[in-house]
């Protein structure tokens, strides 16, 4: 799958830095936009819808964030996703595997393509962007 526009939604600036470096290292050319919480990303998505701009084709979504966490983001996103012309792939990213062993995964299984435990590695980035 080839992604062009990527949203990284995570309150951890170190994670932002790691993703940027891994993309560079693997020569992966994407338009990446970074957000520190789900609310910021949701506002940007709604703005793109209103303006008719291209939404991201991939969202790397942290679960544990302030303001609007990953689960709350998914609830809101599911209300909007029918309005987007193309499907948006969502990969959950979390510092703890515990978040993936909950009923929430089952609840949002139709929205989540995959999930990864931080820190992101070279292999993870390759599996997302190059396979």
Domain count, the chain: 1
- Whether 41 is covered by a domain: the verdict is no
Cis peptide bond upstream of 119, omega within 30 = yes
- Whether 78 is covered by a domain: the verdict is yes
Range(s) of the domain holding residue 68: 5-34+46-86+94-129
Distance CA 22, CA 107 (A): 31
pTM of the model: 0.94
pLDDT in tens, 18-58: 999 999 999 999 999 999 999 999 999 999 999 999 899 99
CATH number of the domain at 14, please. 3.40.50.2300
- Whether 55 is covered by a domain: the verdict is yes
Torsion of CA 104, 106, 112, 117, to 10 degrees: 60
- Whether 39 is covered by a domain: the verdict is no
Closest CA to 114 of 91, 95, 87: 91
Closest CA to 61 of 82, 84, 37: 37
Residues, the chain? 131
- Whether 73 is covered by a domain: the verdict is yes
């Amino acid at each position: 799958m080839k992604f062009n526009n990527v949203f990284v939604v995570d309150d951890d600036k170190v994670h932002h830095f790691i993703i940027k470096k891994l993309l560079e290292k693997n020569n992966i050319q994407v338009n990446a936009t970074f957000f520190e919480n789900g609310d910021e990303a949701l506002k940007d998505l709604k703005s793109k819808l209103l303006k008719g701009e291209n939404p991201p084709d991939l969202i790397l979504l942290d679960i544990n964030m302030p303001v609007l966490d990953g689960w709350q983001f998914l609830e809101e996103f599911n209300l909007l996703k029918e309005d987007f012309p193309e499907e948006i792939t969502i990969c959950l990213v979390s510092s703890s595997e515990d978040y993936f062993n909950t009923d929430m995964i089952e609840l949002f299984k139709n929205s989540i393509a995959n999930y990864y435990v931080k820190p992101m590695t070279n292999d993870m980035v390759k599996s997302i962007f190059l396979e």
